[in-house]
Chain A
């Protein structure tokens, strides 16, 4: 370089290249800014494609609107454009059923100019990330298909058959030997008769085996009887593969957002579809099942994702109730959550990690009472009446913790009436 260019030439080149670099960096910063501006201000209602969100899609906007200046004016304050009686403005408002667009008077003219450039020449959309195949979850469920008891029974049956065949073979071999030696053939003894003879000759062993078997069966039977009517571990397949892990776990949505009845009612409530739609109006693809499961919400809500409106017939989702408390017992979520300040996880377990909701507590009376005996009740500082009652209890049970059962929490009529 030195040999070809003299000093002033080099200086000029440096100046030119730095200017060039400056323009490039300025331009890219500008583009990034416009993208950010778009995401912050416009993307809530407008997509860059054809599909309608709350407002129309912006694809091909450059060819639709009168000119850039109009677009800039419209973005800044669409109310003024409408007031001025602009024909195109009236037309698009009519096309969108009179939906109102926000005004963006807080944006500077430069920012709006950047936005206009950006929405006219949007960046190419990135390839949609393909959803993980739903098969992964299904395979897992099938793994533990074969009952170990069935395997055991199969092996035993197989052994019995083998023993029978070998006995037959041994018996005929012995008869052949006897024949050769000129002895009379032995009469075949049935396995049942031989077993009985063995039992008669081994009374103690038989007794021990029988006792062992009886003991095992009795305990097993006892626990099996106790499990009648207890739904612990019940986690039925739901009509929509809703995952608590994705919603409450990964996205940290509060339980009460959907189960909003928990502080106001006896039941926590299964959310109605409109609550699903509060987010899924905008989110149509999930991390586990892609669009298939979310499409079921749209079907239930009667939502047409292309037109972005509720125009189809609605169909209720038949969720399967997991926690079923019998009618002969009264339980109120409100009392436990609002007043008792119990955390959801105390009874429902680590639901934030569950793909299908599972009942982790037995919901038996023993389980209720156990908790009522253990849980301490703090006084109610803001209610003098309850506070006085609490003081009386503290005097009565000197030194002992005031638990729920001390204030009548295990009386029959409390829950059964």
Chain B
């Protein structure tokens, strides 16, 4: 009889140890992801995007996200010839023109992109009254004011390299996307004129290359 009792008690003890063992792994510590079964299935030796890793030889820590090897060209990449200087800005304004047709589709996509990448500083109507724009030392100039007659090439140049307090947005927007944004800004510069005249005249089917699929 006594042996049985001891057996039961020890079983209970074993389970309680197990349970405490497991429950203590509960994610109370926000810095611990929890228990991993076979960690190398979760963290493989191959480089994951957005993860830091250590270079073994030097011990130097480097980001897995690297710049492309020198001289390589990504698919769909087009070189941009104008330099990030005064001359480049002026030349872009004179010689650079939008390759995209001014049609509804491009304008709509431009509006969508403007809403994601520009609106928080430049504001919905382009008056420089966005939420972030108000927190900058000076709000961005209005598209209907100082920038009313800004040529499209200069807009493209500015989105690519930034100007004044605005930073370069080339890493966020492809060249095609930048031109779509330019189209929408032109609508903001001249809300009435653009809507009727230009679109009607350019209502040709889109000449843009089909969207790249992965």
Contact = CB atoms under 8 A, between A and B. Distances in A.
B44 A327 contact: yes
A98 B22 contact: no
Contacts of A196: 2, 5
B138 interface: yes
B214 interface: yes
Given A213-B16, A253-B132, A282-B136, A100 B89 contact: yes
Q: Is the interface of A mostly helix, strand, loop or mixed?
A: loop
Interface string B21-51: 0111111101111111100011110101111
B55 interface: no
A281 B33 contact: no
Contacts of A65: none
A54 B165 contact: yes
Nearest to A338: B211
B42 to A, nearest CB: 5
B37 A40 contact: no
B110 interface: no
Contacts of B46: 327
Contacts of B25: 224, 227
A256 B171 contact: no
Interface string B148-168: 100000000000001111111
B147 to A, nearest CB: 9
Contacts of A324: 33, 42-43, 48
Contacts of A267: 49-50
Interface residues of B, number: 74
B25 to A, nearest CB: 7
Contacts of A41: 138, 141, 146
Contacts of A281: 165, 167
Interface string A78-102: 0000000000000000000011101
B34 A234 contact: yes
Interface string B48-73: 11111000000001110100000000
A233 B37 contact: no
Nearest to A285: B135
A3 interface: no
27 contacts: A38-B138, A40-B138, A40-B146, A41-B141, A43-B137, A44-B137, A47-B137, A106-B148, A149-B24, A196-B2, A196-B5, A221-B18, A228-B34, A228-B35, A228-B36, A236-B30, A251-B135, A256-B116, A257-B172, A260-B171, A272-B171, A274-B171, A278-B162, A278-B169, A279-B121, A318-B52, A328-B41
Interface of A: 38-47, 53-55, 98-100, 102, 104, 106, 147, 149, 196, 199-200, 210, 213-214, 216-218, 220-221, 224-225, 227-237, 250-254, 256-257, 260, 265-267, 269-270, 272, 274-275, 277-279, 281-283, 316, 318-319, 321, 324, 326-328, 332, 334, 356, 358
